[in-house]
A = this chain, B = another copy of it.
Amino acid sequence: MKEISVKNKVKLARIEKGNLTQGELAKSVGVTRQTMSLIEAQKYNPTIKVCLLISKYLERPIDELFWAEE
């Protein structure tokens, strides 16, 4: 199996929360699968609302899931 990037905290938390798929997490959070994909790929600058929803569902603080790019 391919290694998961350690930097991708959202993906890690998603996997750790019962091997959720992007689609399952997206549905639970209320965004599209594509949006979740882009957020995990760090190609979006998501809104705090979406971050809060992801944070709550994955039971991880926002500061842990979303960090500043250097």
Which residues of A are in contact with B by a Cβ distance under 8 Å?
1-2, 4, 6, 29-31, 45-53, 55-56, 61-63, 66-68
Decide: B62 and A31 in contact? CB cutoff 8 A. Answer: no
Contacts A/B (CB < 8 Å), 25 sampled: A1-B31, A1-B49, A2-B29, A2-B30, A2-B53, A4-B49, A4-B53, A6-B48, A6-B52, A45-B47, A46-B47, A46-B48, A47-B47, A48-B48, A48-B51, A48-B62, A51-B62, A52-B66, A52-B67, A53-B68, A61-B61, A61-B63, A62-B63, A62-B66, A63-B63
Which of chain B's residues have a CB closer than 8 A to the CB of A4? 49, 52-53
A51 to chain B, nearest CB (A): 5
